[in-house]
Amino acid sequence: MAKAKSKYTRRRAIKCKIVERSTNNPGYCKYDITIAELDGTIHTEPAYGKDMQDALSRLMNTERTIKVEKKLERNPFLFFIAWMALMATPVIWHGDITYTPWFVLYMFVSFTAIFLAAGWWQSYLEKGKK
């Protein structure tokens, strides 16, 4: 699109247009959101939601998720540190829990909870897409 100098200190959604209704998820629509970047470039991104505000928030959440994924791809040690902190929490709080069945249960529940949360988040971001 056009290259114009941005006079803002933040990115801006300058135009939002409804494109079509979702056939798979009733109540959801596809929007084309035109964004003005700080460097002056203007581009259009598709977003999905129940209304424009929902579509904008989903687009922002998707962009944040992509940033986190890229950071974790570049530095997988961060994920390892977070995982170890999650596994060490019951030992730190309860002392010698490592030789009891509760420790195995906690590991299973925390592992399951992490993957359920990741699946729920991905489902939230993908809702409304065809």
**Residue 52: pLDDT band with limits 50, 70, 90:** very high
> pTM of this prediction?
0.65
Q: How does pLDDT run across 82-129, given as a tens digit for each residue? A: 878 877 776 677 666 566 777 777 778 877 888 888 888 888 878 777
**Closest to 64 measured CA to CA, from 4, 1, 121:** 121
**Closest to 44 measured CA to CA, from 101, 88, 1:** 1
pLDDT at 2 exceeding the cut of 60: no
